Amino acid sequence: MSILVTRPNPAGKALTQRLIDAGKTAFQAPLIEITAGRELSLLDAKLKGLRAGDCVFLLSKNAVSYANWQLNQLQQSWPDTLSYYGIGQSTAKDFQHLSSLPICYPEQGETSEDLLDLPALNQVKNKQILLLRGNGGRDLLATTLSQRGAIVDECECYQRLFIHYSPEDFALQWEKAQVDTLVVTSGEMLQQLFDLVAESKKAWLLNCHLLVVSERLATIAKTLGWETVTVAESANNDALFHALI
């Protein structure tokens, strides 16, 4: 097995090194880079506009880290009068570590659907909800919570920016390295990877074993032409590492 990890840093670098330390042949080619979001400076005002009992949703570990950095710059703390929700366990634990505040999260899975299944989120009528997120991505949370009667606002705390590679060179490099296993952690990156590889190298790409982080991504992958797709138990590095091992 020769593995190519496409998730962005620092998580991508950490997973690649962990695989190498375990004796695996692993490489990294991040498809996106993470930078500060265009609305990060608005975060403090948006938090102060919420009432006691309103909700803040943290939709990734990047949202946690950039939002926390911004509050630290202003010498502000996370308000302890709000209800916090994390997209999954790893995001929630990062938030708990940085804020020392309680946060709700789904015990299983790290998708919008898993989060929306929490019983408390069926009773959000007239509550203000602030989604801390990156640019792009899915609108399922905002749409569903609005349909349930919530007043939803968003704050772009970080941006995902595509990293550009030469289509011919990218595929040739990893084919020569005998890469036969790919790790992809978002639908956006999956489509980017598919579009990046030139038609002449699509056979190599689609013959690779693909590891993804949700059934939704597996469905997209099979639609694009992958036949061998494995779904990790969650999106964190522990789950990806154990799936690969």
| pLDDT tens per residue across span 138-184 | 789 999 999 999 999 999 999 999 999 998 899 999 999 999 999 99
Give me the pLDDT at residue 108, please.
Answer: 85
What is the percentage of the chain residues whose pLDDT exceeds 90? 91
pLDDT bin (cut points 50, 70, 90) of residue 110 is: confident
Query: Quick check: 82 and 91 in contact, CB under 8 A?
Result: no
Q: At residue 3, what are phi and psi to the nearest 5 degrees?
A: -110, 135
What DSSP string runs through 23-70? T-EEEE--SEEEEE-TTGGGHHHHHHTSPTT-EEEE-SHHHHHHHHHH
- 198-217 pLDDT per residue, tens: 999 999 999 999 999 999 99
pLDDT at site 80: 97
How many other C-beta atoms lie within 10 A of the C-beta of residue 209? Answer: 17
pTM above 0.75, yes or no: yes
Alpha-carbon distance of 50 to 233, in angstroms, equals 34
Of 113, 112, 49, the closest CA to residue 82 belongs to 49
Residue 58 confidence (pLDDT): 97
Residue 121 pLDDT greater than 80, yes or no:
yes
Q: Are 62 and 34 in contact (CB under 8 A)?
A: yes
Q: Determine the pLDDT at residue 170.
A: 94
For the chain, what percent of residues have pLDDT higher than 70?
100
- The answer to whether the beta carbons of residues 219 and 72 sit under 8 Å apart is no
pLDDT of residue 137: 76
47 closest CA partner among 62, 26, 68: 68
**Parallel, antiparallel, or unpaired: how do β-strands 128-134 and 209-212 relate?**
unpaired
* 197: pLDDT strictly greater than 90: yes
Other Cβ atoms closer than 10 A to 37: 24
pLDDT at 109: 80
- Residue listed under structure tokens 């490489």: 27
- Parallel, antiparallel or unpaired: strands 151-162 and 32-36: antiparallel
Mean local confidence (pLDDT), 191-197: 95
Mean per-residue pLDDT, 70-82 = 97
- What rounded mean pLDDT belongs to the chain? 95
Q: In this predicted structure, what is the pLDDT of residue 136?
A: 83
d(CA 213, CA 222): 14
